[in-house]
């Protein structure tokens, strides 16, 4: 396949789309055709709905889809992480059962990693899975679970051995959400939205064949999921726009996007809405205040420089050069930008910052910025964890001494809430 | 817009770094900063003859290498890193660029080859006691005297003004105000009516002079009254060059801070294992890399002749001023007591950071300029 040129790929995908694309097909029917032809996920293995195409050629395929407005496979949310993890670690049976319905969008997935007692310290999970001879029996609680309320399956990290060090006692499972032992409750956030859930397990059951990887290898499998999560951190934004075109398939896609992306609709406000700042300063006349101007400039400098830093990292990667430190700073830089944006929006908005909903400027958008920004420096790895990663992995500084990895997990001090 | 350096540019940087590590170790910086001349003539000769550095951004038609603003930025970044003591910025970047922007074809052919070859060391006498790098802040008067002009007034903060053998001076026609009526003149430093005195400087690696003119003879450079536009463009490019020099110095300081944090042991552990130190270092890296991105982007824009060049010069300088100073202060803090001693090298770069923070305008000034350029 590697001898394929961009032009031959373009010709082939174009011919296939001309022969098969029809906006009046059903969404699931069309995605099944994509799965069978390999054009939905061309970089995947041939055995599993792909064409083993090199990554560099995949954008050519995407361009041809975009050119005629053809709908692709389902890509929102946790399902792509589930697919990547199962492709790397799943059994034949698991791939057979799950991958196709991930691509068609018929199944929704969620990630059951974080717990009330283990946030930054993910490997400290205390949700337990005990084998009773026929099933794994799950008890415990997960939190910050996006989409659990309409998911069919969850990627579960649970403790199966308490007598070994923490990272060695975890196992990774696919858990069916729709069963009596699983209770999903929405978690209301400080900004009023409830994008996440708490998930409670009371003797929830998992058949032995839904263990992913070996027993006790759960941490390693979870690393694959997390690596793909970081890589696609801005993925949800890219897929957020449905087409306005006419046809049954577009109607079904719009409905899917509406449901799937509902939990993410406040995410732009969380990042600080730098795009609104200059307009807001001009419409309020606050651009005449030299102090406000200084703070706006600080924000725009930081935000532009962060964007250029990300582009430097991509350019180095495209040239095949080793990744420099600029590739690891994005998350921390985004937190700095969001905090400064919150400060600037407050300066511009003045006393109106006390208001919310329709009384707040831009129909509540400004208020939503002010109460959503704190999430940026916590979700997906806190600023403090980011600083540890940068200083230890990028700068090679010595690790802080630890007291939790050299002894059986049951002897490690834990939060009182867990015991 | 390119977001990475080409292989050729990376090779050029590697050559420069080797040369400067050899010629400008901290011991040499310490030796030269104590001299009145402020640089080593033999190193300057090698830089000029072997590497052609004084002519890097000067077109080949005027004896230069004909490279662009990106290569200029690389030279400045490496010099900033090594804290090189040499009249490069003053002669090639400030005075050379002023002549490029203001001079007629024949003047450029006459004046630039010497600067490009390093045999002439020119200086730009622009700023006055008010410390502003804006043409309208020029009070110095140029009165007609037969075919020539006589300059009267005083210039300050003239980089390498004492050692310069040629001066480019800004002055205005009598009775004019604002940016209107400002022209550039070539003045011989040993002419009658020119009086130079060295200013006592906080950063001894950047020598500054006070120069007064009392009816000193000047030769008009380019067209009369066209000085403001030429100066604005010159300061724009020089600001971008300076921002690149500053991120080079900041990068060097950062490496020394990390090295020390890994070595220094207190409470039975390397201090770099404490989050109080490692988190500070992570924040320093963010400041450094963002300032580098801004400096590189501005140099690219200048190289492409972008209409955004002046805005981006201000953006890059504001970022560099804050980042270099913050990194310098933190580097001393991480070193603790030893960082405050004369024998530790940190203060050499700290002083350069402080001097550069305000040179060609501080961060507050450039943030306001950016807002004006972007019509906020």
Q: Which residues pair with B213 in a beta bridge?
A: B153, B194
Averaged pLDDT, A2-18: 88
Nearest CA in chain B to A316: B4
Predicted local confidence at residue A237, as pLDDT: 43
Q: Cβ atoms within 10 A of the Cβ of A251, count?
A: 14
| CA-derived radius of gyration, chain B | 21
Tell whether the torsion through CA atoms of A140, A146, A148 and A151 is positive or negative: negative
Minimal Cα–Cα distance from B263 to chain A, Å?
A: 10
Contacts of B266 (CB under 8 A, 6+ apart): none
Minimal Cα–Cα distance from A288 to chain B, Å?
A: 9
What is the Cα–Cα distance from B239 to B252, expressed in whole angstroms? 20
What is the Cα–Cα distance from B357 to B366, expressed in whole angstroms? 11
Contacts of B35 (CB under 8 A, 6+ apart): none
Q: Is B105 exposed, middle or buried (0-12, 13-18, 19+ CB in 10 A)?
A: exposed
Averaged pLDDT, A394-402: 93
Instruction: Give me B48's structure tokens.
Output: 């000029």
CATH annotation of A266-380: 1.20.140
Q: Does residue A242 carry a pLDDT above 80?
A: no
Q: Does residue A1 carry a pLDDT above 60?
A: no
Domain ranges of chain B: 7-117, 122-225, 229-373
Q: Cβ atoms within 10 A of the Cβ of A161, count?
A: 17
Window 373-402 of A, Cβ < 8 Å to B: 384, 386-388, 390-392, 394-401
| Interchain contact B259–A (C-beta under 8 A) | no
Least confident of A266-280, A314-328, A358-372: A314-328
Domain ranges of chain A: 6-73+236-263, 82-233, 266-380
Which residue reads 């060049």 in tokens?
B309
What is the Cα–Cα distance from A165 to A168, expressed in whole angstroms? 6
Which residue reads 């002010």 in tokens?
A370
Question: Choosing among B1, B4, B288, which should be mutated to test the A contact, i.e. which has the most A CBs within 10 A?
Answer: B4
CATH of B7-117, one of 1.10.540.10, 2.40.50.180, 3.30.470.20, 3.40.50.300: 1.10.540.10
Nearest CA in chain B to A330: B286
Minimal Cα–Cα distance from A406 to chain B, Å?
A: 18
Mean pLDDT per 10-residue segment, chain B (376 residues): 94 98 98 97 98 98 98 98 98 98 98 98 98 97 96 98 98 97 98 98 98 98 97 98 98 98 97 97 98 98 97 98 98 98 98 98 98 97
Q: pTM value? A: 0.92
CATH annotation of B229-373: 1.20.140.10
Of A309, A384, A395, which is closest to B290 when you measure between CB atoms? A309
Work out the pLDDT band at A112, boundaries 50, 70, 90. very high
Q: Cβ atoms within 10 A of the Cβ of B121, count?
A: 22
A315 and B296: CB-CB below 8 Å? no
What is the Cα–Cα distance from B267 to B299, expressed in whole angstroms? 46
Q: Which residues pair with A115 in a beta bridge?
A: A118
Measured between alpha carbons, how far is residue A38 from residues A16, A62, B78 in Å? 11, 13, 50
Calculate helix-pair angle for A330-349, A290-318, nearest 10 degrees.
160
Q: Which residues pair with A154 in a beta bridge?
A: A110, A175
Q: Cβ atoms within 10 A of the Cβ of B293, count?
A: 27
| Interchain contact B371–A (C-beta under 8 A) | yes
pLDDT digits (tens, 9 = 90+) for B98-122: 999 999 999 999 999 999 999 999 9
Percent of all residues in chain A with a pLDDT value above 90, rounded to a whole number: 82
- The answer to whether B302 touches A414, Cβ cutoff 8 Å, is no
Work out the pLDDT band at A5, boundaries 50, 70, 90. confident
What is the Cα–Cα distance from B122 to B96, expressed in whole angstroms? 8
- The answer to whether A74 touches A103, Cβ cutoff 8 Å, is yes
Window 328-367 of B, Cβ < 8 Å to A: 364, 367
Of A308, A333, A398, which is closest to B3 when you measure between CB atoms? A308
ipTM: 0.96
- The answer to whether B109 touches B64, Cβ cutoff 8 Å, is no
Instruction: Give me A416's structure tokens.
Output: 């009182």
Q: Does residue A96 carry a pLDDT above 90?
A: yes
What is the Cα–Cα distance from B71 to B2, expressed in whole angstroms? 13
Predicted local confidence at residue A3, as pLDDT: 56
Contacts of B32 (CB under 8 A, 6+ apart): B38, B39, B40, B85, B205
Calculate helix-pair angle for B363-373, A290-318, nearest 10 degrees.
80
Pairing of strands A109-112, A153-159: parallel
Query: Pick from B105, B106, B102: which is nearest to B182 by CA?
Result: B102
CATH annotation of A82-233: 2.40.110.10
Nearest CA in chain B to A306: B290
Of A281, A301, A397, which is closest to B261 when you measure between CB atoms? A397
Predicted local confidence at residue A300, as pLDDT: 98
Predicted local confidence at residue A380, as pLDDT: 83
Fold for the domain defined by B122-225: Butyryl-CoA Dehydrogenase, subunit A; domain 2 (2.40.110)
Q: Is A236 exposed, middle or buried (0-12, 13-18, 19+ CB in 10 A)?
A: middle
B370 and A386: CB-CB below 8 Å? no
B294 and A308: CB-CB below 8 Å? yes
Of A308, A387, A398, which is closest to B273 when you measure between CB atoms? A398
Contacts of A394 (CB under 8 A, 6+ apart): A325, A328, B285
What is the Cα–Cα distance from B12 to B75, expressed in whole angstroms? 9
Percent of all residues in chain A with a pLDDT value above 70, rounded to a whole number: 96
pLDDT digits (tens, 9 = 90+) for A170-197: 999 999 999 999 999 999 999 999 999 9
Instruction: Give me B129's structure tokens.
Output: 């006691």
Of A278, A300, A398, which is closest to B262 when you measure between CB atoms? A398
Question: Choosing among A318, A322, A339, A395, which should be mutated to test the B contact, i.e. which has the most B CBs within 10 A?
Answer: A395
Calculate helix-pair angle for B26-33, B346-358, nearest 10 degrees.
60
Name every chain A residue with its beta carbon within 8 A of the beta carbon of B297: 305, 308
Minimal Cα–Cα distance from A382 to chain B, Å?
A: 12
What is the Cα–Cα distance from B45 to A280, expressed in whole angstroms? 56
Give me the total of CB pairs closer than 8 Å, taking one residue from chain A and one from chain B.
130
Work out the pLDDT band at A238, boundaries 50, 70, 90. very low
Question: Choosing among A278, A294, A297, which should be mutated to test the B contact, i.e. which has the most B CBs within 10 A?
Answer: A297
Tell whether the torsion through CA atoms of B320, B321, B327 and B331 is positive or negative: positive
What is the Cα–Cα distance from A278 to A297, expressed in whole angstroms? 10
Predicted local confidence at residue A321, as pLDDT: 87
Measured between alpha carbons, how far is residue B159 from residues B87, B246, B356 in Å? 8, 16, 12
Nearest CA in chain A to B281: A391
| Interchain contact A278–B (C-beta under 8 A) | yes
Q: According to the 3-state scheme, what is the secondary structure of chain A?
A: CCCCCHHHHHHHHHHHHHHHCCCCCCHHHHHHHHHHHCCCCCCCCHHHCCCCCCHHHHHHHHHHHHHHCCCCCCCCCCHHHHHHHHHHHCCHHHHHHHHHHHHHCCCCEEEECCECCECCCHHHCCCEEEECCCCEEEEEEEECCCCHHHCCEEEEEEECCCCCCHHHCEEEEEEECCCCCEEEEEECCCCCCCCEEEEEEEEEEECHHHEECCCCCHHHHHHHHHHHHHHCCCHHHHCCCCCCCCCHHHHHHHHHHHHHHHHHCCHHHHCCCHHHHHHHHHHHCHHHCHHHHHHHHHHHHHHHHHHHHHHHHHHHHHCCCCCCHHHHCHHHHHHHHHHHHHHHHHHHHHHHHHCCHHHCCHHHHHHHHHHHHHHCCCCCCCHHHHHHHHHHHHCCCCCCCCCCCCCCHHHCCCCHHHC
The C-alpha angle with vertex A120 and arms to A117 and A123, in degrees rounded to 5, equals 70
- The answer to whether A153 touches A82, Cβ cutoff 8 Å, is yes
Q: According to the 3-state scheme, what is the secondary structure of chain B?
A: CCCCCCHHHHHHHHHHHHHHHHHCCHHHHHHHHCCCCCCCHHHHHHHHHCCCHHHCCCCHHHCCCCCCHHHHHHHHHHHHHHCCCCCHHHHHHHHHHHHHHHCCHHHHHHHHHHHHHCCCCEEEECCCCCCCCCHHHCCCEEEEECCEEEEEEEEEEEECCCCCCEEEEEEECCCCCCCCCEEEEEECCCCCCEEEEECCCCCCCCCEEEEEEEEEEEEEECCCCCHHHHHHHHHHHHHHHHHHHHHHHHHHHHHHHHHHHHHCEECCEEHHHCHHHHHHHHHHHHHHHHHHHHHHHHHHHHHCCCCCHHHHHHHHHHHHHHHHHHHHHHHHHHHHHHHHCCCCCHHHHHHHHHHHHHCCCCHHHHHHHHHHHCCC
What is the Cα–Cα distance from A107 to A206, expressed in whole angstroms? 18
Name every chain A residue with its beta carbon within 8 A of the beta carbon of B279: 384, 387-388, 391
Backbone torsions φ then ψ of B43, nearest 5 degrees: -65, -40
């Amino acid at each position: 396949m590697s001898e394929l040129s961009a032009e031959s790929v373009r010709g082939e995908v174009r011919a296939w789309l001309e022969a098969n694309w029809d906006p009046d097909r059903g969404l699931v029917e069309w995605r099944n055709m994509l799965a069978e032809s390999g054009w939905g996920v061309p970089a995947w293995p041939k055995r599993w709905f792909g064409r083993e195409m090199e990554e560099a050629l995949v954008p050519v395929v995407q361009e041809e889809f975009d050119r005629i407005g053809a709908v692709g496979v389902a890509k929102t949310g946790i399902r792509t992480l589930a697919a990547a993890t199962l492709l790397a670690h799943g059994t034949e049976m698991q791939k057979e059962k799950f991958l196709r319905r991930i691509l068609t969008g018929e199944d929704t997935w969620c990630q059951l990693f974080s717990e009330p007692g283990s946030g930054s310290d993910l490997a400290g999970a205390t949700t337990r899975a005990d084998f009773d001879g026929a099933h794994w029996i799950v008890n415990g609680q997960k939190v910050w679970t996006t989409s659990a309320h309409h998911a069919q399956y969850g990627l579960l990290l649970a403790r199966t051995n308490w007598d070994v060090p923490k990272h060695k006692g975890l196992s990774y499972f696919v858990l069916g959400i729709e069963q009596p032992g699983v209770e999903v409750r929405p978690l209301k956030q400080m900004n009023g939205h409830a994008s996440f859930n708490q998930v409670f397990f009371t003797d929830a059951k998992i058949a032995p064949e839904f263990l992913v990887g070996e027993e006790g290898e759960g941490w390693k499998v979870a690393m694959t999921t997390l690596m793909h999560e970081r890589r696609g951190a801005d993925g949800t934004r890219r897929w957020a726009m449905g087409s306005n075109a006419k046809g049954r398939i577009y109607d079904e896609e719009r409905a899917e996007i509406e449901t799937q992306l509902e939990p993410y609709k406040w995410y732009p406000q969380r990042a600080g809405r730098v795009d609104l700042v200059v307009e807001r300063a001009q419409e309020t006349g606050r651009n005449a205040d030299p102090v406000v101007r200084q703070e706006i400039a600080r924000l725009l400098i930081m935000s532009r420089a962060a964007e250029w830093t990300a582009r430097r990292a991509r350019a180095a990667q495209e040239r095949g050069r080793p990744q420099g430190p600029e590739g690891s700073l994005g998350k921390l830089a985004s937190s700095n930008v969001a905090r400064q944006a919150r400060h600037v929006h407050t300066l511009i908005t003045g006393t109106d910052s006390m208001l919310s909903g329709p009384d707040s400027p831009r129909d509540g958008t400004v208020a939503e910025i002010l109460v959503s920004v704190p999430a940026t420096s916590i979700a997906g790895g806190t600023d403090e964890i980011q600083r540890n990663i940068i200083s230890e992995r990028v700068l090679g500084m010595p690790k802080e001494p630890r007291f939790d990895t050299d002894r059986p997990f049951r002897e490690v001090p834990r939060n009182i809430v867990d015991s | 817009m390119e977001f990475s350096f080409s292989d050729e540019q990376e090779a050029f940087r590697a050559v420069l770094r080797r040369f400067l590590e050899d010629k400008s170790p901290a011991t040499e910086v310490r030796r030269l900063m104590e001299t009145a001349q402020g640089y080593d003539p033999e190193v300057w000769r090698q830089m000029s003859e072997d590497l052609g550095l004084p002519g890097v951004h000067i077109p080949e038609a005027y004896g230069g290498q004909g490279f662009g603003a990106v290569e200029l930025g690389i030279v400045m970044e490496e010099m900033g890193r090594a804290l090189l003591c040499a009249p490069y910025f003053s002669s090639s970047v400030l005075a050379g660029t002023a002549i490029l922007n203001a001079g007629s074809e024949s003047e450029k052919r006459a004046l630039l080859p010497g600067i490009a070859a390093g045999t002439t060391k020119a200086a730009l006498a622009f700023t006055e006691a008010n410390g502003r790098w804006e043409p309208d802040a020029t009070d110095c008067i140029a009165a007609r005297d037969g075919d020539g002009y006589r300059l009267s007034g005083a210039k300050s903060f003239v980089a390498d003004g004492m050692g310069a053998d040629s001066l480019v001076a800004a002055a205005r026609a009598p009775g004019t105000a604002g940016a209107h009526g400002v022209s550039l003149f070539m003045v011989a430093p040993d002419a009658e009516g020119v009086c130079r005195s060295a200013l006592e400087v906080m950063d001894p690696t950047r020598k500054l002079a006070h120069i007064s003119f009392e009816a000193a003879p000047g030769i008009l450079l380019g067209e009369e009254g066209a000085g403001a536009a030429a100066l604005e463009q010159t300061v724009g490019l020089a600001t971008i060059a300076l921002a690149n020099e500053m991120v080079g110095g900041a990068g060097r300081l950062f490496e020394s801070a990390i090295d020390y944090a890994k070595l220094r042991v207190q409470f039975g552990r390397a201090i770099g294992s404490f989050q109080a130190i490692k988190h500070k270092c992570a924040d320093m890296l963010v400041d450094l890399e963002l300032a580098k991105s801004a400096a590189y982007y501005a140099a690219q824009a200048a190289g492409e002749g972008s209409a955004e060049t002046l805005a981006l010069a201000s953006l890059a300088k504001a970022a560099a001023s804050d980042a270099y100073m913050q990194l310098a202060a933190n580097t001393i803090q991480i070193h603790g007591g030893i960082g405050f001693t004369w024998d530790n090298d940190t203060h050499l770069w700290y002083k350069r950071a402080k001097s550069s923070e305000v040179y060609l305008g501080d961060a507050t000034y450039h943030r306001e300029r950016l807002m004006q350029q972007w019509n906020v």
